[in-house]
Each structure stands twice: as C-alpha cells, then as structure tokens.
Amino acid sequence: MSEPDPITDLDELATAERWMKAGREVAIATVVETWGSAPRPAGSHLVIDEQGNLAGSVSGGCVEGAVVAEAMDVIETGKPRMLDFGVADETAWEVGLSCGGRIRVYVERLG
C-alpha cells in the first residue's frame, strides 16, 4: 500500500490496522443497532487512538465527541462498553441525535 492520503483514504479499518502496527492504542466503535432516521447504518465504524485521533464515523458528527470520551476509558480498562444515543436523552448523555433517531454503539479495544 502506498503512503496514505487523508482525503482519499476513507477506509477506517485499514487505518486501525496501520495505527496498531505503529504501536498506537486503538479503540473501535461500531453502530450495532439503529431506530428511526439514524445517519449511519449498522456496521459503521469510528476508530479512535489514545491521542483522540479519529477515522470513520458513527453519526453525522452529533455523538462522536461523546464516543471519543468513552473510548479513552475503554482503551485504558480494556472493557468493552455499549452506548445508547437518542434524541432528548439529556439525563443519560449530554448529546443526542438531531435527526430524531436512536443508535446503539459498541466500543471495544483493539487487542
């Protein structure tokens, strides 16, 4: 594979492997369930390293910040977590999906 280009290289799983090989700690977040008008389908990934670098997406940008914060804990403890995001779910999470959908995101450490 040639040098990665941040604009054309949209493959987050290839990015995850590259980061891992470079010795970076990596967490993988995956949309496992959606209800209503969710922005990204089940199976979509957001890949996060211990510095907070991102690749991919699990929403249109609405919940990525919260997922990154959780991913930091997951990287540290190695324990996977399930996150629920919905609209007007202010007590559980400070962020919600403006589109009105609901998603479940599974966050796990790579390795």
Partner 1 sequence: MDPHVLKKLNLERASRRAAIVLTDLGDGRDRLIGEGDEVAGDLGEALASRFRSGKSGIIAHGERELFANVHLPSPRLAIIGAVHICQALAPMARLAGFDVRIIDPRTAFATPERFAGFDLAADWPEDALKSRPLDAYTALAAITHDPKIDDFAISAALEAGCFYVGALGSRKTHAKRVDRLTEAGLSGEQIGRIDAPIGLDIGAASPGEIAVAILAKVVEALRSRGEVGNG
Residue 30, interface with partner 1 (CB under 8 A)?
A: yes
Q: In the complex, what is the shortest distance from the CB of residue 79 to partner 1, in angstroms, rounded to a whole number?
A: 8
| Residues from 71 through 110 that contact partner 1 (CB under 8 A) | 80, 82, 106, 108-110
Alpha-carbon distance of 59 to 49, in angstroms, equals 18
| Residues from 41 through 70 that contact partner 1 (CB under 8 A) | 41-44
Query: Residue 59 has which token pair?
Result: 């929403």
Start-to-end CA span in the chain (Å): 23
- Residue 91 or 111: the one with the smaller Cβ distance to partner 1 is 111
Q: How many residues bind partner 1 (CB under 8 A)?
A: 24
Cα–Cα–Cα angle for 109, 71, 43, rounded to 5 degrees: 70
Alpha-carbon distance of 17 to 80, in angstroms, equals 19
Q: In the complex, what is the shortest distance from the CB of residue 50 to partner 1, in angstroms, rounded to a whole number?
A: 16
Alpha-carbon distance of 69 to 72, in angstroms, equals 5
Could you list the residues that contact partner 1 (CB under 8 A)?
2, 7-8, 10, 13-14, 16-17, 20, 28, 30, 32-33, 41-44, 80, 82, 106, 108-111
